[in-house]
Every structure is written in C-alpha cells, then in structure tokens.
C-alpha cells in the first residue's frame, strides 16, 4: 500500500512543474515519463539515455517519489494531467 504524503513533503512534481511543462527535448522526456506513471502509456527506458546530468537526477527523483506515493500525491495527479494535455495538443498539431 502506498505511503500517504506528509504535509512536510514537497512533491518533486510540484517543484519541477515548470520544467515538466516546458518545450524542449529533456522536458518532453520527463513529461512522457510522468504520463506513463499516471496512465500506464508506454515509455521506452532508452529515452533516459538522452537526459543530461541536470535532468537525469530529476527523472530518478520523480520515479522514486512515485514509487513511494503513487497516486496519493495530488501534485502528481494535477501535473500529470497537465502533461497529458500538452502531449495531446502536440499530437494534434502533428
């Protein structure tokens, strides 16, 4: 069973929200990883090879936080929905 978020815990999804919603390659990889955690869409782990030394630790931070709290993090749920909406708009434009 997932651990409930403590009020003192600041979700990395809230801390990195701006980055996750940004429009560059590493942000998109992190965004798609977040979407995959949220709704189970496929995410090729080979994509993390494209992350640089600034973004790779963020990926692991998001993944670790999700592995502990899952969908019991309201910030995760809100940001994941925003990420999905962005990716849906990108797909419509292509």
Q: List, for residues 27-86, the tens digit of each pLDDT value.
A: 999 999 999 999 888 888 899 999 999 999 999 999 999 999 999 999 999 999 999 999
Residue 63 to residues 35, 44, 79: CA-CA distances in angstroms?
12, 14, 14
Give the C-alpha separation, 77 to 35, whole Å: 10
Note whether residue 6 is domain-resident. no
- Residue 17: inside a domain, yes or no? no
What's the helix, strand, coil split of the chain in %, to 5? 70, 0, 30
What is the domain count for the chain? 1
Domain that holds residue 53: 26-93
- Max Cα distance, the chain (Å): 41
Identify whether 18 is part of a domain: no
Which residues, other chains included, contact 5 with Cβ-Cβ below 8 Å and sequence gap of 6+? 11, 69, 72, 73, 74
pTM greater than 0.95 = no
The answer to whether residue 15 sits within a structural domain is no
- Identify the pLDDT of residue 17: 98
Residue among 31, 25, 24, 86 at smallest CA distance from 50: 25
């Amino acid at each position: 069973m997932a651990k409930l978020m403590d009020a003192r815990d600041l979700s990395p999804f809230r801390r990195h929200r701006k980055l996750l919603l940004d429009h560059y390659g590493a942000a998109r990889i992190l965004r798609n990883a977040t979407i995959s955690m949220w709704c189970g869409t496929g995410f090729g782990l080979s994509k993390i090879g494209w992350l640089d030394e600034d973004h790779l630790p963020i990926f692991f931070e998001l993944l670790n936080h999700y592995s502990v709290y899952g969908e019991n993090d309201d910030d995760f749920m809100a940001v994941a929905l925003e990420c999905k909406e962005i990716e849906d708009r990108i797909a419509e434009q292509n």
